[in-house]
Chains A and B, each alone.
Chain A
Amino acid sequence: MLQRFLIAWLLCLPLTAQAAVFYPQDYKLDNGLELIVVPNHLAPAITQMVWYKVGSSDETAGQTGLAHYLEHLMFRGTSTMAPGDFSKIIAAQGGSDNAFTSYDYTAYHETVAADRLEMAMKMEADRMHNLQIKPETAVPELSVVLNERQQRTDNDPEGRFTEKVRNTLMPNYPYGTPVIGWKAQIEKLTAENATQFYGQHYAPNNAVVIISGDVEPEKVLQLAKSIYGVLPKHEIPPRQAFGQAPMPERHSLVMVDAGIEQPQLELNFVVPSYATQKAKEAYAYEVLGEALDGGEVGLLYKSLAVEQKLASGVEAGYDPDARGPAIFAIALTTRPGVDPKVLEKALMDKLQALAKTGLEEKTVKAAKERMRRTAVFARDDLMMPGYSFGMAITTGHSVNDVEAWPDRIEAVSLAEVNAALRDLMANPRTLSAMLLPDPNATQAVKEAAHPVINHDAGIR
């Protein structure tokens, strides 16, 4: 029933993604490719996911959007396959395929009948090594990407707000730049740029292949050796370091837009990720997130929506799979008629009070138990192993880290959760952001109004 909004980078995966205990087989081929196999015999189907350890945070200055553009071009032909044939061949088997790009990774996936695994592996191996980017397909594909940016961001006030929030929270920082890129820079990307980026980053020794479904691990390994194992490895440039964390500044941001009818507010904190944590505090933040959110039993929903009647939706979330810092976010929808500033104050008061008194033992225990149990649910899905292992390994974690997740959550103490909350409240890298309707907009004005903040041309 909660209104899900805004935190797109949390939206892509629920927190349960890491919850799994998949009992995988993990192999490393001689050319450096990592292969993970998770048998699941519920249906005669398999999902293959191929993750590359490259994303928008690996782009060079002035070429934002290149990793995502290359993702599109991966479907536009190789030396052995015509543009567009990849998806048609998968579809001809009844299968489905897609891909996505994020800050730290780019992933491709297919779901096909289990006896078509070899075909799917051959196709991914082919474009891992033989991609051909030609101007006649690269040029219209760039228009497609620009259309995608228009549809998801420029023409959508919530999309613009999300972009602005990240950019304000992490200015001049890889995670502050939109994955899809700034429009003016996308427009200048070329087939040559993409070919060069592909040559640098796409190789078996920079890839993780996860196969889940109706398979036997040993047989998959033999197939992988003969299909992926023959591809040559090459030197991969070291990944760009993140440098100093973003400036410690408390920001606030208000965006007013005539297209918005429902006030929304967010509180964002830059916090450690799995990769940057010093003493397992990422796991404490995860438990804190579950205790604060947790649907209708979460502390914030109970306080702000049920008791104080100020919010109609409450979400708290944290995605610790990142090479650099992570974001802990709380997103609220105001109850109609409530001043968003009143809700914001109530949120801060509640968080401060909780930080002062500490959470109760039983609240933390229940949150941990809910999280532990999500592991079983995660196994009832062919995509989940790929998401969990792919996100972990491309951001510097390992198979063992994923498998140990329930134990590490279990090991988080009440004191650690309370310390995480106190750290959050003292965190100077904070952004409070509101997306508000235009109070002066009459119907006519609403139709003619431009958003107050418009980052069409924003180049950082």
Chain B
Amino acid sequence: MRYFIAILLMGLIVAGNAHATTITEVTSKGGIKAWLVEDHKLPLIAAEFAFRGGVEQDPVDKQGLAHLTMGLLTEGAGAYDAATFQQEMADHSIILRFGASRDVLMGSVKCLSEEKAKAFELLHLAVTAPHFDKSEVERLRSQQLSGLKGQLGNPDWQARYALFSQIFATHPYGFRSLGSIQSLSSLTEKDIKGFAAAHLAQDNLVIAVAGDITPVELAPLLDQVFGQLPKKAQLAKIGEVVWPAKPATILVPREGTQTEFLFTMPGPKREDPDWYAAEIADYILGSGGFSSRLMHDVRDEKGLTYDIHTGLSPMDYAGVLIGEAAADNDKVGQAWAIALETMRGFYKDGATDKEIASAKDYLTGALPLVMTSTDKIAGVLVDLQLKSLPRDYLDHRNDYLRNVTKEDVTRVIHKWFNPDGLTLSMVGKPDGMKSTETKDLVHN
């Protein structure tokens, strides 16, 4: 493969559609709302939904709780034990999944339209009547522990963890979604039940549906599935991230042939007026694949890395600009020096008219291209709601981008893209790199 397509943090791709996609808001009798894109070309339905408040809601000593709880929702619910529930999903070709990211608990269902009654029945049971039986808890705990141990051997995860524990310190964004060996083993059935009861509710829920279903069919299903959830979630209050006063260069020594490195500094949040200009600037610097300056300078010209890229991650309590690359141990110094020079040049001289035009071409043109399947359409609709964007947003999004001026981009580069503010995290044995602090590999 020619390069990795990586999504950093929970990078949000807000997309739109120049071609008219009609988003309908469906409201049930019980007052539950969903956004719907109706399309009957294929006999399929995809639904995506999210509860605000994700891994950040884990108690500090109970990390891994959100992830474990969500995994257990499909392991026995209502009249079905775990094996029967899974068999029902398989026999009816229903894909039903739950997960947890930093800011939200997510769920999705995809099914043939002829199976929608069964699919929504299983979904209803999963969110309102999960069993959390002891044997299932132990089985999923062991799976999560396996996953956690798998992470520990992964240099990319080590670099990420070292970086996040540095910049987020005690803020919940520094939490480990799978927990630690100790925290995971301490989770009880009571913790799990309590977490589900507090966080799966109506007032923190957003729903999106796409495919072969009409508003009239969907409305009663919303009440059937979500109507019995508590009206209000009990969410722990999360504060804004306060960045460390000084940037750091962290080294995690690890044997091997290459060094993985991640770099980060504050970025704009999604509601920041600078958002669109920042998207353009980030595209030019590092998120534009082979069109980006970093890829050109470090990979194409010098062959020092297989991939280098950046991305903006607008989260609820912090905006982050983050980048990553890997290079041979004896070339890291050179690769990083070139990357820094590129970033300094960008900060000092800004972007050219041509680069800005190219970035706008890409960002506006990409709109219809991310909505090519029913689940992708539903995913976009959930993202829009989570970011509190209006239902006609997709009709205007490209204009917001087109209206960005060169002055806007220059201002944003000066505000957000000064590489002197970068914190760097390296895992490996890099030559020619000085670190301000050394951390051990995490083994638990």
**Beyond A306-B83, A377-B44, is A84–B369 a contact (Cβ under 8 Å)?**
no
Instruction: Report Cα–Cα, A262/B441, bound state, in Å.
Output: 15
Q: Is the CB–CB distance between B255 and A92 below 8 Å?
A: no
A276 to chain B, nearest CB (A): 27
Contacts of B17 in A (CB 8 A): 43
Cβ of B328 under 8 Å from chain A: yes
Nearest B residue to A257 via CB reads B153
Q: Is the CB–CB distance between A157 and B44 below 8 Å?
A: no
Instruction: Report Cα–Cα, A366/B127, bound state, in Å.
Output: 27
Instruction: Report Cα–Cα, A217/B371, bound state, in Å.
Output: 22
Cβ of A433 under 8 Å from chain B: no
**Beyond A151-B258, A155-B256, A373-B93, is A91–B373 a contact (Cβ under 8 Å)?**
no
A282 to chain B, nearest CB (A): 23
Contact of A144 among B112, B145, B299, B368 (CB under 8 A): B299
Contact of A98 among B3, B110, B112, B254 (CB under 8 A): B3
Q: Is the CB–CB distance between A147 and B146 below 8 Å?
A: no
Contact of B362 among A91, A257, A296, A456 (CB under 8 A): A91
Interface of A is mostly: mixed
Q: Is the CB–CB distance between A381 and B303 below 8 Å?
A: no
Instruction: Report Cα–Cα, A366/B92, bound state, in Å.
Output: 10
A419 to chain B, nearest CB (A): 24
B65 to chain A, nearest CB (A): 16
B183 to chain A, nearest CB (A): 15
A6 to chain B, nearest CB (A): 11
Q: Mask for B280-309, Cβ within 8 A of A = 1, else 0?
A: 000000001111000010011111111100
Contact of A336 among B83, B142, B358, B441 (CB under 8 A): B142
**Beyond A98-B2, A259-B256, A381-B372, is A87–B153 a contact (Cβ under 8 Å)?**
no
B291 to chain A, nearest CB (A): 5
Q: Is the CB–CB distance between B441 and A297 below 8 Å?
A: no
Cβ of A246 under 8 Å from chain B: no
**Beyond A113-B368, A147-B304, is A313–B143 a contact (Cβ under 8 Å)?**
yes
Best-buried of A96, A101, A296 by chain B (most CB within 10 Å):
A296
Nearest A residue to B256 via CB reads A155
Q: Which of A275-297 touch B at CB < 8 Å? A: 294-297
Instruction: Report Cα–Cα, A259/B428, bound state, in Å.
Output: 12
Contacts of A455 in B (CB 8 A): none
Q: Which of A439-458 touch B at CB < 8 Å? A: 443, 446-450, 456
Contacts of B128 in A (CB 8 A): none
Contact of A312 among B90, B145, B289 (CB under 8 A): B145
Instruction: Report Cα–Cα, A142/B302, bound state, in Å.
Output: 10
Contacts of B18 in A (CB 8 A): 44
Q: Is the CB–CB distance between B443 and A370 below 8 Å?
A: no
Q: Is the CB–CB distance between B290 and A111 below 8 Å?
A: no
Contacts of A213 in B (CB 8 A): 372
Contacts of B112 in A (CB 8 A): 373, 376
Instruction: Report Cα–Cα, A95/B358, bound state, in Å.
Output: 12
Q: Mask for B227-258, Cβ within 8 A of A = 1, else 0?
A: 00000000000000000000000000111111
Cβ of B440 under 8 Å from chain A: yes
B292 to chain A, nearest CB (A): 10
Q: Is the CB–CB distance between A87 and B300 below 8 Å?
A: no
Instruction: Report Cα–Cα, A333/B296, bound state, in Å.
Output: 40
B122 to chain A, nearest CB (A): 14
The total of interchain contacts (Cβ-Cβ below 8 angstroms) comes to 232
B156 to chain A, nearest CB (A): 9
Q: Mask for B364-384, Cβ within 8 A of A = 1, else 0?
A: 111111011111000000000
Contacts of A150 in B (CB 8 A): 257-258, 306, 326, 328
Cβ of B129 under 8 Å from chain A: no
Cβ of B216 under 8 Å from chain A: no
Q: Which of B77-94 touch A at CB < 8 Å? A: 82-83, 86-87, 89-91, 93
Cβ of A37 under 8 Å from chain B: no
Q: Is the CB–CB distance between A99 and B1 below 8 Å?
A: yes
Q: Chain B: interface residue count, which band?
A: 35 or more
Contact of A139 among B71, B303, B304 (CB under 8 A): B303
Q: Which of B325-348 touch A at CB < 8 Å? A: 326-328
Q: Mask for A337-378, Cβ within 8 A of B = 1, else 0?
A: 000000000000000000000000000001001100110110
Q: Is the CB–CB distance between A112 and B369 below 8 Å?
A: yes
Q: Is the CB–CB distance between A88 and B358 below 8 Å?
A: yes
Instruction: Report Cα–Cα, A333/B366, bound state, in Å.
Output: 39
Q: Is the CB–CB distance between B139 and A309 below 8 Å?
A: yes
Cβ of B134 under 8 Å from chain A: no
Instruction: Report Cα–Cα, A336/B110, bound state, in Å.
Output: 32
Contacts of B19 in A (CB 8 A): 43-44
A86 to chain B, nearest CB (A): 8
Q: Is the CB–CB distance between B44 and A336 below 8 Å?
A: no
Q: Is the CB–CB distance between B42 and A379 below 8 Å?
A: yes
Contacts of A297 in B (CB 8 A): 83, 86-87, 89-90
Instruction: Report Cα–Cα, A373/B91, bound state, in Å.
Output: 10
Contacts of B149 in A (CB 8 A): 261-262, 336
Q: Which of B158-192 touch A at CB < 8 Å? A: none
A309 to chain B, nearest CB (A): 7
Instruction: Report Cα–Cα, A217/B396, bound state, in Å.
Output: 33
Instruction: Report Cα–Cα, A112/B2, bound state, in Å.
Output: 18
Instruction: Report Cα–Cα, A404/B412, bound state, in Å.
Output: 56
Q: Is the CB–CB distance between A155 and B299 below 8 Å?
A: no
B53 to chain A, nearest CB (A): 21
Listed A/B pairs (11) with beta-carbon separation below 8 Å: A3-B147, A84-B300, A88-B291, A94-B364, A113-B365, A140-B300, A150-B326, A155-B155, A306-B83, A377-B44, A382-B372
B→A interface (CB under 8 Å): 1-3, 5, 17-19, 39, 41-44, 71, 82-83, 86-87, 89-91, 93, 110, 112, 138-140, 142-143, 145-147, 149-150, 152-153, 155, 253-258, 288-291, 296, 299-307, 326-328, 358, 361-369, 371-375, 428, 440-441, 443
